[in-house]
Amino acid sequence: MTADEKRAQEETLRRVRASLARRYRSERRFRLFGLSSALLGLAFVAFLFVTIIGNGYTAFWQTQFKLDIYFDPAVIDPDGQADPQQLASANYRALIRDALQSELPDVSGRREMRELNRLISAGAEFDLRDEVVANVALIGSTRELWITADDEVDMLVKGHVERDEQGGARRLSDSQLRWIDALAADGRVEQRFNVNFFTRGDSRDPEQAGIAGAAKGSLFALLVTLVIAFPLGIAAAVYLEEFAPRNRWIDLVEVNINNLAAVPSIVFGLLGLSVFLNFFGLPRSAPLVGGLVLSLMTLPTIIIASRAAIKSVPPSVREAALGLGASQVQTVLHHVVPLAMPGMLTGAIIGMARALGESAPLLMIGMVAFIVEVPQSITDPATALPVQVFLWADSPERAFVERTSAATMVLLAFLLAMNAVAIWLRNKFERRW
Partner 1 sequence: MASQRIGPGLKYSLNKAFLDCLRDIKTISFGGSTVLTTIRSAALTVCGVAVLLSVSGPAAAQAARDYISIVGSSTVYPFATVVAEQFGRSTAFKTPKIESTGSGGGLKLFCAGVGVEHPDITNSSRRIKSSEVELCASNGVAEIVEVKIGYDGIVLANSIDNKPYELSLKDVFLALAKDVPAPDGSERLVPNPYNTWNEVNPELPNTAIEVLGPPPTSGTRDAFAELAMEGGCKQFAWIKAIKSEDKSRYKGICHGVREDGRYVEAGENDNLIVNKLKANPDALGIFGFSFLDQNADVVQGSLIDGQKPEFEAIAEGIYPVSRSLYFYVKKAHIGAIPGIREYLAEFVSDKAMGDFGYLTERGLIPLPEAEYEAVAQAVRDLQPLNLAAN
Residues in contact with partner 1 by CB under 8 A are 122-123, 126, 161-162, 165, 168-171, 203-205, 224, 227-228, 230-232, 234-235, 276-277, 279-285, 292, 333-334, 337-338, 366, 368-373, 377, 379, 381, 391, 393-398, 401
Nearer of residues 187 and 281 to partner 1, judged by Cβ = 281
**How long a stretch of residues is the chain?**
433
Nearer of residues 381 and 410 to partner 1, judged by Cβ = 381
What's the min distance (Å) between Cβ of 307 and partner 1? Answer: 16
Nearer of residues 103 and 203 to partner 1, judged by Cβ = 203
Cα separation, 57 vs 50, in Å, equals: 10
What's the min distance (Å) between Cβ of 140 and partner 1? Answer: 24
Nearer of residues 118 and 426 to partner 1, judged by Cβ = 118
3 state DSSP class of 147: strand
What's the min distance (Å) between Cβ of 371 and partner 1? Answer: 5
What's the min distance (Å) between Cβ of 381 and partner 1? Answer: 5
Please provide residue 104's backbone torsions phi and psi, each rounded to the nearest 5 degrees: -120, 80
Cα separation, 301 vs 299, in Å, equals: 5
Cα separation, 28 vs 20, in Å, equals: 12
What's the min distance (Å) between Cβ of 338 and partner 1? Answer: 5
Cα separation, 101 vs 93, in Å, equals: 12
3 state DSSP class of 63: strand
Q: Report the candidate in 215, 156, 191, 159 with the shortest Cα–Cα distance to residue 408.
A: 215
Cα separation, 42 vs 36, in Å, equals: 10
Nearer of residues 188 and 407 to partner 1, judged by Cβ = 407
Cα separation, 389 vs 214, in Å, equals: 9
Nearer of residues 188 and 225 to partner 1, judged by Cβ = 225
What's the min distance (Å) between Cβ of 287 and partner 1? Answer: 13
